[in-house]
Amino acid sequence: MIVGGASGLGALLARMAVDEGARAIGIIDLNGDAAEAALAPARAAGLPTAFAACDIRTAPAAHAAFDTVAAALGRVDTLVNSAAIYPRRPILEISDDDWDASNAINVKGTYHMMVAAIRHMQAQEMVGRVRGRIVNITSVDAFKAHPQNAHYAATKAAVVSLTKSIAHAVAADGILVNSVAPAGMATEKARASGFLDELAKASPLGRGGEPEEMAEWVLMAGGPRNTYMTGENIIVSGGYIYA
């Protein structure tokens, strides 16, 4: 199940998961048309799919959407939290509304979906030694100074911390909780903004990462090959974070 799976990295994950052997795909997002397009490869492969439209900022709505998709799929082995907003604002101009919106979606929404997933996973049988896996998409911005988007960076740092705390809390249940922190990805939007040029200059590899290169790590953390890693934040930055 992919929250924020209608576009961007989430939609790419929905497509790549089919090639990785996923048995069903569910998406939670506000954009139903885009979600339908993201689910098309799974349907073409004959896999069960499900979608729920949801504003994840409140627990009742987030939990209801999770339960709807989970009921349609029958079992949720992996939850990926990819929904977030990225409102750039100079550091001295961040308003209360900016803070509230970023926290509500990037932190609270992620938390609400994790709680829904944990309750579901606690009730299902182990597969090997694991009942389920949760992967949160964070960002290298959680670790690097970001004066043009400090409130976004702060929310991603919060999700890194939340990931560790919840991983510890549910380890005994056989639920693995990790996060993946990408650097800037070479999307059309990023190319148009000029951000990738800045990233290329700062990166030892001299380029931004391709979305597929980020998605591979999400699939690894959320897939059956991961049976022991939990509470970790995987940084995928091409060396940018250390440069």
Residue-wise pLDDT for 120-160, tens only, equals 999 999 999 999 999 999 999 999 887 888 999 999 999 99
Q: Which range among 10-14, 84-88, 219-223 shows the weakest confidence by mean pLDDT?
A: 84-88
Q: Which of 139, 77, 85, 136 is nearest to 110 (CA)?
A: 136
Average pLDDT over residues 5-29: 96
CATH class of the domain whose range is 2-236: alpha beta
- Asked whether the predicted pLDDT for residue 183 surpasses 90, the reply is no
Average pLDDT, the chain: 93
The C-alpha R_g of the chain, in whole angstroms, comes to 17
Single-letter amino acid code for the residue at 74 = G
List the structure tokens of 95. 């308003």
Query: Strand 132-137 vs strand 25-29: parallel, antiparallel, or unpaired?
Result: unpaired
H-assigned helices in 85-243: 96-102, 110-122, 150-170, 188-193, 195-202, 211-222
Q: Which residue has the higher pLDDT, 199 or 135?
A: 135
Catalytic annotation, residues: 152
Alpha carbon distance 173, 150 (integer Å):
35
Per-residue pLDDT, 49: 98
- What are the domain boundaries of the chain? 2-236
Distances (CA, A) of 68 to 4, 33, 243: 16, 18, 44
- SS3 state of residue 243: coil
Task: Please give the model's pTM, rounded to 2 decimal places.
Answer: 0.95
Average pLDDT over residues 75-100: 94
Strand runs (DSSP E) across 2-131, as ranges? 2-3, 25-29, 49-53, 78-81
